[in-house]
Structure 1
């Protein structure tokens, strides 16, 4: 009987052949292999406004034997994420952004609607799914393209239209809104925010007039997360936006990154903070949150949270550079009625 030298076989293949041979000798029937689906993050080109009938799928499936050692690693985005530290200071960049924001048009009416189209991506925990002896898995999910029509004065019922990644559209009403105590729930409430830098800085830190920040890192991180939520969730009046960007520039610990990428695959320049997860992630690791702006127009593009650290063990699926979550603002404008696009 001829034999095939082990050196000509792929790694581990000779072991599989020996096991198969022993099953033949013992008359055993080999078990059907169990396979699991694992989604990995991948980046796509920007969504074209006219192609809203089908949402963009930002994920690809790969398979791996469940009997393998540990969960399969998702695709690492480290080589695909072109971020690089910029020599530009956060204060300089945000001043340029503030000047651009102050020039935006005004004249919004209370019975109009703020239209926002977003593309969303995130990792989520699924305790019901395990791989090997790992307690839980994390999987990448595209939330898909969403359109929202939110009442300018909060007193009109709005509309949410979600374009599912698998096809189909889900529409839900957006209820009338009351002013939030610690959040901005509609455009006219944003008109009540400070339009001076110091006042906006106090608002970000939750300080009373005359009170100074504690100087603690945790307070700076909380202010940055609050800024991320306001900027992503609300359209700001021009004067308010200008004060906002100048106030954010006063938060210690910021860096500027060139080539930051959002959920829609677009790249821009970002103001970022290491150690902060504006988009939640509970699997350990070292996060970094980024506020991304268009390189040319300086318009706000959205936010991303990136994992910075290598996995500590085989049960942690994210590599350094992988995208944890992202919200891409594809379009934002004021329209006359809900359901109407700019």
Structure 2
């Protein structure tokens, strides 16, 4: 019989235990226990919402999918998080990433399936639930490992397989897809995206022919969110991916961080934008990161980190805590749905 390894307490749990201990010492009556019912997160990026639309509740208080191996969830405070500023500029890093992406193999057929395996983590806050007089839930929430088989041409029924806590598996079909107007719903639609930097830049900003960028911060944020959704939600042709990275490099306000961490605890180098919450509730100040493997420069996934210092005792997240993360464990092309590489 398998055993579940010990895990660190999730964010906010130490505070809850400490408050409980103080009530015991002072002879206070503890508040009524709160039944926690987790809800699907509201994604900011429409592409992520479309590509990762099936979310399954895997149990209250779950911070790690018992069916998967790996280190504990990266929920530590700022003093324990490894991010540090890099001397490399966003343009320099993304050019290296673009060169590596352009060398990836091609040759995808329409009747094949894009296989994607991800690990997902989101901190949950719900003002309708309270712990004592604090309007918050208690813990982060691990959605666990998901496998998806999505039709390359959008014309074949795919498959979603979600690994629940305790080893249970939920499978659902993925319907045939139509091309999205503002989203990329299957691989062959991605083939229609621009493969030059200027064209991809205009696509990210949603510019009509002859239209000039507004220069507004909101437009830069929207372009960054759109790029992150495309990277996380889709397999991209090599030339398209290279153009995307070079176009992202032209978005103002980016920084480069070394030691950024994803839902699997993997570290890499990240292109990040502060004041953006691609994943999670977006409370207070935050930073969203596109994380790449330092050696291969492959895309690992995205994370949103809380930057706000707690202002009162009800604040659940410290500065540096992970709000949410989607880690791409594997992405490739297979012949049939259900087939694993």
TM over 0.5: same fold? yes
> Structure 2: how far apart are the matches of 1:276 and 1:206?
19
User: What does the per-residue CA deviation read over 1:273-309, in whole Å, with 9 as the maximum and x for residues that have no partner?
Assistant: 0001111314x32110000000000000000000011
Q: Partners in 1 of 2:95 and 2:243 — Cα distance?
A: 10
Find the residue that maps to 2:125 and give its secondary structure: strand
The match for 1:5 is none
RMSD (Å), alpha carbons: 3.0
1:41–1:58 CA contact under 8 A, matched in 2 = no
Aligned-pair CA distance for 1:77: 2.6
Contact conserved, 2:136 with 2:316, CA < 8 A, in 1?
no
User: Structure 1 residue 54 and structure 2 residue 73: aligned?
Assistant: no
Question: Contact conserved, 1:119 with 1:328, CA < 8 A, in 2?
Answer: yes
CA distance in 1, matches of 2:249, 2:169: 39
Q: Closer, same or farther in 2 for the Cα pair 1:177/1:14, shift >3 Å?
A: closer
Are the structure 2 counterparts of residues 33 and 210 from structure 1 closer, same or farther at C-alpha, using a change threshold of 3 Å? closer
Matched, 1:101 2:107: no
Name 1:145's counterpart in structure 2: 145
Q: Secondary structure at the match of 1:166?
A: helix
Q: Which has the higher strand share?
A: 1
Q: Residue 329 of structure 1 aligns with which residue? A: 328
Contact 2:72–2:265 under 8 Å retained in 1: no
- Pick closer, same or farther for the CA change 1:238–1:159 going to 2, 3 Å: same
How do 1:60-209 and structure 2 match up within 5 A?
76-137=76-137, 139-209=139-209
User: Contact 1:118/1:145 (CA < 8 Å) preserved in 2?
Assistant: yes
Q: Distance in 2 between matches of 1:292 and 1:332?
A: 15
Provide Cα deviations, 1:6-46, integer angstroms capped at 9, x if missing partner.
Answer: xxxxxxx99977x77xxxxxxxxx9688566998897x8xx
TM-score between both structures, scaled by the size of structure 1: 0.80
Cα distance in 1 for partners of 2:269, 2:102 equals: 19
Cross-structure match for 2:52: none
- Residues 232, 302 of structure 2: 8 Å contact kept: yes
Query: Is the CA contact (8 Å cut-off) linking 1:304 and 1:324 kept in structure 2?
Result: yes
What corresponds to 2:287 in structure 1? 288
CA distance in 2, matches of 1:280, 1:109: 35
Separation in 1, partners of 2:294, 2:225 = 22
- Please give the per-residue CA displacement for 1:130-182, whole angstroms capped at 9, x wherever unaligned: 11222333630010000000000000000000001232000000000000000
Give the whole-Å Cα distance in 2 for the aligned partners of 1:122 and 1:103: 33
Question: What is the rounded CA distance, in whole Å, between the counterparts of 1:37 and 1:183 in structure 2?
Answer: 37
Gaps of 5+ in 1: 1-12, 21-29, 45-51, 61-73
- Checking the alignment, whether the CA contact within 8 Å between 2:158 and 2:175 is kept in structure 1 is yes
**What count of residue pairs does the alignment treat as equivalent?**
300
